[in-house]
Each structure stands twice: as structure tokens, then as C-alpha cells.
């Protein structure tokens, strides 16, 4: 594009901008011819060659040198630098927006009620919850229970003795009875007639709720555990007795550990 700039002596200086570097067409007799050094012996500033100066009165191709002494070259350089700064600023803004969106820094923790099944599944995976029926049982039977960060609740029926608790990898001996939240019994060490269960704790041999709870129990302690499905058998359940996403209630007695 071609613009006209009025100087102090009412003369108009014609200049062009071509590509991203900018191009200056200066009146004859001003600037330094292409390929020569300036009066200080410095190398010329990167060349801004005029493309087609035909039709621009008194214009010829020149070089703007650095440091810039010629006011017309100085103006052309300022315009070029302004364009560079504007483009760099826009690039920085776009990059910042992309980072914020990718990292999800502005995402709400609670986006409100889900609008479709896909969103409901996504929210359930990120923030699993008790079912409506399980929540009613918890409100009735576990109102005064302790609650862990994982979402499990427990009531201490007998505190046991001593201060020691099982460590990860130790073997524990426990009696237990397991029920669904509707009261259905699905397992019991008392009923099998084989004595208490002996199992290694904290290494994934039992459900996550057991690994968490038993490592905080004392010898002889009895607890009632309300274990959410994400710490039990998950979304698939277990066999015919434990349905998908089923919370479990266990009465557990820690007999010994070593």
C-alpha cells in the first residue's frame, strides 16, 4: 500500500510497505545508496528495497542505516517495529489463551446439573457418589460415623488394645461379615466354619476399603465399615451377589497382625 506523510516544509514523502520488513522510497538525495557504509563506517541496517517505484515522483530505492539519522528512515523503522510488536503481542495473547484452555484453569469445579448422559458419566467418574438409597442408609445408621478423605465411613464398636496398627505388607487375622446396603448378607467368616481370615494387607490382596481401614485399626478392635463402590468392587460388581456400583457394609474384627 502507498501512504503520504506531510513534512514540516509541506513536502510529501512517499513510502511503501512490502512483505513483513517494510519498504521505504525516499526522495532523491536522501539516505545512503545501496551497498555502501554510512559516515561512521557502520554496516547498513537491513535493506528495505523499494519494489516498484514507478509513478512515485522523485522516489528511488534507498537503504536505511543504523543508527538511523534520516527522519524518514526513522519513521519507516518505527512503523516496522510497531508491526513486529503488534504481531508478537497477538501471538502471546493467543498462546496464553491456548494454555489456559488446555490446562482447564478456568474450569468450574461444579459445572452444575449435567445436560446429557455423557456429561453425567464424566461427572460420575470424576466425583463418584453414593446412590440415593445408600445415602439414606448413611443418614440413618452412620450419622455420627467418621469419614475418610476417600469417602469411606466407619464406626468404632470396640477400640481394642495398644497403639500399634498393621503396616503395609503385614499379615492380619480378621473375622468379618459383609452385607449390601439393603441388608443382604453376601459373605461371612463366621458362617464358613473355617475360622478367621488370614491375609496380607496393603498390597492389593483385598478391596481398597479394607486396605485403608485395617491399617488404622488396633489389635482386638471392632469396626463397622461403610465402603463406597469405588473402594469396593467398582462399576462391574463381583459375581452374582454384588451388583455394579454397590456400596458395602462390613463388620470387621482385627484379631491379630504380624
Q: Which helix (H) or strand (E) holds 156?
A: strand 153-158
Q: Which residue is catalytic, options 176, 181, 229, 257? A: 176
Q: Which residue is catalytic, options 70, 233, 249, 257? A: 233
Residue 93 appears among annotated catalytic residues = no
Q: Are 45 and 77 in contact (CB under 8 A)?
A: yes
Q: Which residue is catalytic, options 141, 187, 211, 255? A: 187
Residue 154 appears among annotated catalytic residues = no
d(CA 35, CA 22): 18
Give the sign of the dihedral formed by CA 204, CA 255, CA 146, CA 130: positive
Residue 23 appears among annotated catalytic residues = no
> Coil, strand, or helix at residue 171?
strand
Residue 20 appears among annotated catalytic residues = no
> Coil, strand, or helix at residue 235?
coil
Residue 186 appears among annotated catalytic residues = yes
Q: Which residue is catalytic, options 201, 207, 227, 249? A: 207
Comparing CA positions, the residue from 113, 129, 100 lying closest to residue 228 is 129
Residue that is written with C-alpha cell 487375622 in the block: 173
Residue 66 appears among annotated catalytic residues = no
Q: Which residue is catalytic, options 45, 79, 156, 186? A: 186
Q: 112: Cβ–Cβ under 8 A, 6 or more apart, which residues?
A: none
User: Could you give the residue numbers annotated as active site?
Assistant: 176, 186-187, 207, 233, 250
Amino acid at each position: 500500500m502507498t501512504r503520504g506523510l506531510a513534512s514540516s516544509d509541506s513536502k510529501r514523502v512517499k513510502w511503501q510497505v512490502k512483505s513483513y520488513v517494510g519498504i521505504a522510497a525516499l526522495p532523491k538525495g536522501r539516505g545512503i545508496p545501496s551497498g555502501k557504509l554510512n559516515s561512521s563506517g557502520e554496516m547498513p541496517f537491513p535493506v528495505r528495497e523499494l519494489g516498484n517505484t514507478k509513478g512515485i515522483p522523485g522516489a528511488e530505492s534507498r537503504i536505511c542505516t543504523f543508527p538511523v539519522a534520516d527522519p524518514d528512515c526513522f519513521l519507516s523503522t518505527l512503523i516496522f517495529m510497531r508491526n513486529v510488536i503488534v504481531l508478537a503481542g497477538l501471538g502471546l495473547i493467543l498462546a496464553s489463551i491456548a494454555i489456559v484452555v488446555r490446562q482447564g484453569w478456568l474450569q468450574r469445579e461444579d459445572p452444575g446439573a449435567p445436560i446429557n448422559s455423557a456429561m453425567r458419566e464424566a461427572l460420575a467418574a470424576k466425583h463418584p457418589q453414593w446412590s440415593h438409597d445408600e445415602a439414606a442408609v448413611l443418614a440413618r445408621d452412620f450419622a455420627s460415623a467418621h469419614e475418610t478423605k476417600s469417602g469411606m465411613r466407619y464406626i468404632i464398636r470396640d477400640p481394642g488394645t495398644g497403639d500399634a496398627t498393621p503396616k503395609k505388607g503385614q499379615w492380619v487375622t480378621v473375622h468379618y461379615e459383609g452385607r449390601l446396603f439393603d441388608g443382604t448378607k453376601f459373605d461371612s467368616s463366621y458362617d464358613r466354619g473355617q475360622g478367621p481370615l488370614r491375609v496380607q494387607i496393603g498390597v492389593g490382596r483385598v478391596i481398597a476399603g479394607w486396605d485403608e481401614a485395617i491399617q488404622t485399626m488396633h489389635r482386638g478392635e471392632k469396626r463397622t465399615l461403610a465402603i463406597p463402590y469405588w473402594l469396593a468392587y467398582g462399576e462391574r460388581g463381583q459375581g452374582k451377589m454384588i451388583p455394579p456400583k454397590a456400596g458395602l457394609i462390613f463388620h470387621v474384627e482385627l484379631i491379630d497382625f504380624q
